[in-house]
Amino acid sequence: MREFDHERMEVYRHALRFIRAANTIRPRFVSGRSALADQLDRASVSIALNIAEGAGEFAKREKARFYRIARRSATECAAVLDIVRELELVEGDAIRECQDQLRLIVAMLIGLVKSLERSLLDPPQPKPEPQP
């Protein structure tokens, strides 16, 4: 069975792992902080969804736009984790593991965007004429 384009992407698999890791710390949030937990859920899922949308796009400019949106969602997750750590809602080790995953995801997404943007700036090379 053929895979979807996004299923072959390492960054997508890391995004899924992050969703799982974020989901494990969510129940540790004290009651009254459900808004933070919900925000972490939405932003973490947004990372994976935007990677998938970008992978399914043909136009490089649009592809890069989806990857930039995924990166913004990842940095939003990082901010939620900063708040969670600051409010001491979850112990530091669990937060650090999630932050490490986010750093990797962000770095990979930046690489994808830069690669796509470079290819947009590079003029297409003419094909060599066949020699008689």
In which element (H, E) is residue 124 found? none
Annotate 24-61 with b (16+ C-beta within 10 A) or e (fewer). ebbeebeeeeeebbeebbebbbbbbbbbbbbbebeeee
In this structure, is residue 126 part of a structural domain?
A: no
- The Cα–Cα gap between 89 and 27 comes to 10
Number of domains in the chain: 1
Query: Is 62 inside a domain boundary?
Result: yes
pTM: 0.88
- CATH number reported for the structural domain that contains residue 67 in this entry: 1.20.1440.60
* Percent share of the chain, pLDDT over 70: 96
Would you give the end-to-end CA distance of the chain in angstroms?
44
Is 94 inside any structural domain? yes
Domain that holds residue 116: 5-121
Segment 65-82 shows an average pLDDT of: 97
Local structure of 122: helix, strand or coil: coil
Q: Is residue 131 part of a domain?
A: no
Residue 132 domain flag: no
- CA-to-CA separations, 66 to 4, 37, 46, in angstroms, rounded: 16, 24, 10
Confidence class of residue 59 from pLDDT cuts 50, 70 and 90? Answer: very high
In whole angstroms, what is the distance from residue 45 CA to residue 120 CA?
Answer: 29
Which among 72, 67, 68, 102 has a CA at the least distance from the CA of 85? 102
